[in-house]
Structure 1
Amino acid sequence: MVNVTFKQKPVTLIGSELKVGDQAPDFKALDNDLEEKMLSDYKGKIKLISVVPSIDTGVCSIQTNRFNEEAKKLDNVQVLTISMDLPFAQKRWREVNQVEDLNMLSDHRDADFGEKYGVLIKELRLLARSIFVVDSNDKITYVEYVSEVSDHPDYDKALEAAKNAQ
């Protein structure tokens, strides 16, 4: 059981904790054009999944911009940012921030990703900040559930895991 806080107050995560070695669950989310996307759409690629509560907050914005910059340097790695933000808000944010090297997905409709990856915050209907690296065979090779939602993830460890995944 993962213990996570939001502004120092404990929150309840819905879903099961995932661990290194687990098969990454397939999920459904919407892209910025309201098209349904699934993990299986990125089959054969390494996936770095960056999960943020809301793209319109400081830490989430920094996290997404950082992974966008790093995505240019990664071979065969698809970077995905997933949040509960509406696809329209994500698209606007992408345009303002000139983000072109990662895909943003919205879990707002069904919370399918949040439940399957154990990051849906029951009290807020937001996603807990986390990172998942999934190899080309859809095995999880790196997991970080950030213990305080307002803190940054360990960017260096996540990027190293993505570089080392096959």
Structure 2
Amino acid sequence: MNTYWTIQRKNVWEQAKVIGCLTGSSEHIWPEFEVAYQWMIEQMSKRLNCLPSAPVWVWVDRPDMRSKNQLGIKGVETVLLEVKLNPDLVLLSDFVSWHYVLNNFTVEFYDNEPIDKMLSWERIFDIETLCSLQDYGDCILQGVTPTIHIEQLKCIKEFIAK
């Protein structure tokens, strides 16, 4: 089992405690990101050999909660949860390159590469190559998983996003 981290709204955490698991929800996907999320759901299903479902997002490294980008929506009660998961149930990708997918861009390793855009999106999972590219910068690892059972979760910190 590996340790991962997820940031969730407090009401989602409370619901997970009642139903016994944390699952993703399609209702929070912005319409402009539906194509990217559907693609990620298909990748999860194929690569993790699971039924298609909205992802639960996790981080490999504990997020720095002082970072403005981690806090979520201002004023919302939020929790940082520690998660113990079998790494075979987590599809890792690079945070920065995932934004290429979200914005419907081609993930290019080199300038003006002749590659199909949707095929290029699979490169977000090629962590080794991404991290070795001189101009790329630091890789920030994130992951998706279909379900996290309550016994795999530990509430570390509750906070209100500033």
**Larger Rg computed on CA atoms:** 2
Q: Same fold (TM over 0.5)?
A: no
Give me the TM-score of the superposition, normalised by structure 2: 0.31
